[in-house]
Amino acid sequence: MSSFHLNTALATWRRSLSTNRTFSADDLDELEQHLRDQIAALVQGGQSEKAAFEQAMAAMGEYGAVEREYEKVYWGKRRRQRLLSTELQERVSMLGSYLKVALRTLRKEKGYAFINVFGLAVGLTCFVLIGLFVHYEQSYDTFHEKADRTYRIVNEYPQAHSLGNTRSTDTPEPLADVLRETVPEVEQVVQLVKSHALLSVGDTQFYEDGIFTTGHLFDVFSFPLLQGDPRTALADPNAIVLTASLARKYFGDADPLGQTIMVYTLSSEDANDQQEMQVTGIVADVPANSHLSFNYLMPTAASRELAGWFDRWDSNSYFTYVALRPDYSLPAFEDKLARIAQDYLTQTEYYQSHPAAIGTYGTQLLTDIHLHSHLKNEFAANGDIQYVYLFAAIALLILGIACINYINLATARAATRAREVGVRKVMGAHRWQLIGQFMSEAVMPSLAALFLAMLLVPLLLPVFNTLTARAIPFDLAHNGGFLGVLLLVGLGTGVLAGSYPAFVMSAFQPAGIMKGTPSERSGKTWLRNGLVVAQFTLTMVLIIGTLVIQRQLHFVQNTQTGIDRDQIIVLDVEDRTLFDTRYETLKQTLINHPQVLAVTAAQEDPTNVDAASYATAWESAEAGQRILVNRSIIQHGFVDLFGLELVEGRDFSPDIPTDAREGMLINETLKHQLGWETAVGKWFNFHGREARITGVVKDFNFHSFHAPIEPLALFLDSGWWFPYQRVFVKVRPDAMTATLAFLEETMQSFSPSHPFTYHFLDDTYAQMYQTETRLGRLLNYFTFLALFIACLGLLGLAAFTTQQRTKEIGVRKVLGASVSQILLLLSRDVLWLILLALLMATPLAYLAMRYWLGDFAYHIELSPWIFLLTGISVLLIALATVSYQSLKAALADPVKSLRYE
């Protein structure tokens, strides 16, 4: 009896089970308590402890059966417990191992790691830059508090010889008061006119851009006044409000408020009449993403140019903006606008005699102006939603190309690790551990790429800003959503790249893999090839687009526009007294210089004639007929200097005095629209003169290539005040610096009170295609990057496939294959892929470019050469990329490749 100790017996029993993993301490506690209960009951029934213990043990079940029963529920138990903290802990501890192995793999394959990380980083950087641009373009004018209910009034009026109405920003002055007083929806109205004036304080004098407006500006827009009272700042006709930076420019650190500034507006009746203005307020600098821009504000009442044109419904000179009440209804407001046009215009004398000219007023949301507005006389050149879409598409294309690379390389590399998967599985790795391993190997470089991109973006943003001519800020605090998207893209790419090895390979049966590497050439290659084709299709679309845009730009800038633009210096004449008496002397002085070939003057650059008015009476005109004719007032020598060709009649001559009064040159288009067989000698009433046609010039492009050539009339000045604003000087191409110095000196001596400003005609001409030029340049860069990334991927892939076929190449060489045969073998695959990509890219690019070219009235034809050239060059680049690897493999000593393993 005494030899049996229950506790010892139980402890022994317990120890025998505790080595078995199926029994947790918790299970043993439970079982032991059961035994103790049972034994206690049996002892109470009169049995000895020893007998009770033996009976309880017997009730446990057959030897080994308990273990088996527990084993059955073991996995279920594990699974349940893992749901709790155990799983988390295991995962966290495994994460360290994943990262370590991932780092080792990356280090072992530095080349691939570099291609992966760098390619994706470049792609992401492009994506971010373009994303910022797209975001910025859409942010225009959104900083105004009432942006969602502020509208610009659009003047829509009919025009002869053109389809539909002309839509313009120009509206009449009395419209503001009518809107303010009779339309209940209107909260406030402001009108403004662009201004350009010489501002001087002491010796500091510059030409500045500003606007004439009223104090209502501050009620409609959120341009905060830093100093001064918005209610009274523009009340006095001698008041001027400066932007903070302009105030600093003129007054330094001194308090600008109350200071006087001399303003010389170009239209002053008396040339020496400067207006003395008093600074009444300082407005914050206008944000870069505003379609309105100004350096100063002056009251409309201060403008002498506008003075004669107040209160006239037939003079459209003002931009009109309305802030509507928060509960406005746009259709109701537009109805009222249309009624106002009807009611007031029909009461106007001019429209009573020209009822066909009566138009109507419409609206345009403030925030739509920058991207969606193409009205006549915009405040400044706007952006274009088409380009925003285009760039968004490019961003996605490049990101797509980079992601495809990443995925392709990662899956290709992972496939070589099938054996590793087998070994890991044999060693007891769970499937989810393998998934974790492959996932972390794929996600880690993608996060590294993301990080690299975030470093590159702030570095490249200034360059990008120069290219796009924008001032895009990089401000993470304001781009939080953007950062989220990026993180998602980075992670998404990693996960996508990792999912093939993670989910497909982790399911491999170890026995199958260990017997031999499953052939990589059969299974998944179609997917990878498909992705490569997609990649090169995208790249080729980009390349073709770039080529077409470049060629169109070249066409625009070098094709005969019918006008000679080279070596012509344009002097801006702001001093109107010059033409009163001194022009002929100036002309003689200039022409006497050996470098100067010819001199003339005109109202505007002949490459961009802006002024137009209606002609209503001419020989054999029908009643009520009218034609909108562009006009420029020119000086003698104009036709010669610009190399215009006369198809009929003669040029103006200083020897024929009647030319100044009634001479007129017209272009061929106008002649055709007038329906004349011959033009010379016929009378034509235009712009207040009864002209007799002197000659007809061959059509030349005096607008941008976007628009077809319109009617044009050229005539000499006959008392129209201040008609000339430009002196054109044709010079010899050499010794330009000396020539410019001479021109400056001469101009200074003729009008000493004005700064000398000039430009080259071909420069301003190029500026007309700035958007396209900029687009072209950006496209160049992005296309290059896209091609670069795609080739980077191809390089990696080629290296991979070549390596996979090392033995095959060895065997082929041993059997007598030549280097060129092997090169062909290895390049053939790529060849097919590129050809397929070209086949797919051609129609895509063709449609896209035909759409873009449709925007130009004069454009190049899409020749098959562009497509062929793209295909051949991409093919060559791709082959060159691949051949490095192929050559290496083909030249390798077969002994080495076959000895491998």
- Stretch of residues binding another protein (CB under 8 A), selected from 68-76, 356-364, 658-666, 852-860: 68-76
Is 11 near another protein (CB under 8 A)? no
The distance of closest approach from Cβ of residue 15 to another protein in the complex, given in angstroms and rounded to an integer, is 18
Tell me the CA distances in angstroms from 767 to 161, 561, 770, one per residue in order.
28, 16, 5
In the complex, the smallest distance separating the C-beta of residue 59 from another protein, rounded to whole angstroms, is 6
**Shortest CB 33 distance to another protein, Å:** 6
777 lies in the site for another protein, by CB under 8 A = no
Q: Which of residues 17, 43, 51, 66 is near another protein by CB under 8 A?
A: 66
Interacting residue with another protein among 5, 48, 61, 235 (CB under 8 A): 61
Asked if 79 interacts with another protein (CB under 8 A), we say: yes
Kindly list the distances between the CA atom of residue 800 and the CA atoms of 111, 372, 408, 793, 850, in Å, as whole numbers in the listed order.
11, 49, 11, 11, 39
Min CB(48)–another protein separation in Å:
20
Give whichever of 18 and 245 is closer to another protein, judged by the CB atom. 18
Question: Which residue's CB is nearer to another protein, number 72 or number 521?
Answer: 72
Nearer of residues 16 and 818 to another protein, judged by Cβ:
16
Burial of residue 310 (number of CB atoms within 10 Å: 0-12, 13-18, 19+): middle
Given 73, 471, 738, 876, the residue binding another protein (CB under 8 A) = 73
Per CB under 8 A, the segment of 72-80, 143-151, 204-212, 274-282 that binds another protein is 72-80
Binding region for another protein (CB under 8 A) out of 63-71, 514-522, 587-595, 598-606: 63-71
CB of 430 to another protein, least distance (A): 18
DSSP per residue over 856-870, as a string? -SS-----HHHHHHH
Region binding another protein by CB under 8 A among candidate stretches 74-82, 647-655, 670-678, 722-730: 74-82
Cβ proximity to another protein, 38 vs 238, nearer residue = 38
For the bound state, the minimum distance from the C-beta of residue 73 to another protein, rounded and expressed in Å, comes to 4
List CB contacts of 648: < 8 A, sequence separation 6 or more. 671, 678, 679, 680, 695, 696
The stretch near another protein (CB under 8 A) out of 77-85, 146-154, 294-302, 479-487 is: 77-85
- 819 contributes a contact to another protein by CB under 8 A: no
Distance in angstroms (rounded) separating the CA atoms of residues 856 and 848: 14
Least separation in angstroms between CB 90 and another protein: 19
Of 56 and 240, CB closest to another protein: 56
Q: Kindly state the smallest distance separating residue 56's Cβ from another protein, in Å.
A: 8
Stretch that binds another protein, among 67-75, 186-194, 395-403, 720-728 (CB under 8 A): 67-75
Question: Which has the closest alpha carbon to 133: 366, 364, 404, 370?
Answer: 370
Site pattern 241..280 for another protein (x: CB under 8 A): ----------------------------------------
Q: Does 65 bind another protein (CB under 8 A)?
A: yes
Beta strands in 274-325 (DSSP E): 275-283, 296-299, 316-324
> What CA–CA distance (Å, rounded) separates 550 from 546?
6
What residues have CB less than 8 Å from 100, skipping those under 6 apart? Answer: none
Please tell me whether residue 349 binds another protein under the rule CB under 8 A. no
Instruction: Tell me how far, at minimum, the Cβ of 473 lies from another protein, in Å.
Output: 55
Question: In this complex, which beta carbon is closest to another protein, that of residue 80 or of residue 828?
Answer: 80
Looking at beta carbons only, is 37 or 145 nearer to another protein? Answer: 37
Quick one: 30 or 148, whose CB is closer to another protein?
30
Angle between helices 770-804 and 525-558 (to 10 degrees): 150
- Separation CA 729–CA 744 (nearest Å): 12
Asked if 69 touches another protein (CB under 8 A), the answer is yes
Contact residue for another protein among 59, 88, 611, 814 (CB under 8 A):
59
Using alpha carbons, select from 323, 320, 318, 321 the residue that is nearest to residue 186. Answer: 323
Using CB under 8 A as the criterion, what x/- string covers residues 12-51 for binding another protein? --------------xx-xxx-xxxxxx-------------
Report the nearest approach of another protein to the CB of residue 50 (Å).
18
Q: In angstroms, how far is CA 266 from the centroid of its own chain?
A: 37
Q: Which is nearer to another protein, 60 or 824 (CB)?
A: 60
Q: Nearest distance from residue 479's CB to another protein, in Å?
A: 46
Q: What are phi and psi of 573, to 5 degrees?
A: -105, 110
**How many residues sit in the footprint of another protein (CB under 8 A)?**
26
Q: Which is nearer to another protein, 80 or 807 (CB)?
A: 80
When the beta carbons of 7 and 592 are compared against another protein, the nearer one is: 7
Q: How far apart are CA 749 and CA 582, in angstroms?
A: 11
Nearest Cα neighbor of 653 from 638, 643, 642, 667 is 638
Nearest distance, CB of residue 897 and another protein, angstroms:
54
3-state secondary structure of 238: coil
Provide, rounded to whole angstroms, the least separation between the CB of residue 9 and another protein.
16
**Segment interacting with another protein, rule: CB under 8 A, options 56-64, 177-185, 547-555, 764-772:** 56-64
Nearest to another protein of 37, 566 (CB atom): 37
Q: Is 82 in the site for another protein (CB under 8 A)?
A: no
Angle at 108 (CA atoms; ends 102, 109), nearest 5 degrees: 95
Pick 38 or 550: Cβ nearer another protein: 38
How far does Cα 516 stand from its chain's mean position? 52
Name the residue among 372, 504, 365 with its Cα closest to residue 431.
504
Q: In 337-365, which positions are buried (b, 16+ CB within 10 angstroms) versus exposed (e)?
A: beebbeeebeebeebeeeeebbbbbbbbb
CA distances for 778 relative to 369, 461, 782, 785, 870, angstroms: 24, 13, 6, 11, 18
Shortest approach of another protein to residue 77 CB, angstroms?
6
Quote the least distance from Cβ 365 to another protein, whole Å.
57
Nearest approach, Cβ of 825 to another protein (angstroms)? Answer: 58
Query: Distance between CA atoms of 803 and 375, rounded to whole angstroms?
Result: 61
Output the DSSP codes for 641-688: HTTPPEEEE----TT-THHHHHEEEEEHHHHHHHT-S--TT-EEEETT
Q: In the Cβ-directed half-sphere of 300, how many Cα atoms lie within 13 Å?
A: 21
* Dist. CA 259–CA 280, nearest whole Å: 8
Among 70, 98, 140, 218, binds another protein (CB under 8 A): 70
The H or E element spanning position 51 is helix 49-59
In terms of Cβ atoms closer than 10 Å to its own Cβ (0-12, 13-18, 19+), residue 869 is middle
Q: Minimal distance in Å, beta carbon 76 to another protein?
A: 4
Of the CA atoms within 13 Å of residue 866, those in its CB half-sphere come to 23
Chosen residue from 50, 77, 135, 325 binding another protein by CB under 8 A: 77
Q: Tell me how many helices (H) and strands (E) the chain has.
A: 31, 24
Using rule CB under 8 A, residue 72 touches another protein: yes
How far is residue 701 from each of residues 168, 710, 765, 897, measured CA to CA in Å? 22, 9, 11, 68
The answer to whether 769 and 557 have CB atoms below 8 angstroms apart is yes
Please, what is the minimum distance in Å from the beta carbon of residue 57 to another protein? 9
Q: Which two tokens stand for residue 378?
A: 């915009």
Q: Which is nearer to another protein, 55 or 348 (CB)?
A: 55
**CB closer to another protein out of 77 and 135:** 77
Query: Which residues form the interface with another protein (CB under 8 A)?
Result: 26-27, 29-31, 33-38, 56, 59-62, 65-66, 69-70, 72-73, 76-77, 79-80
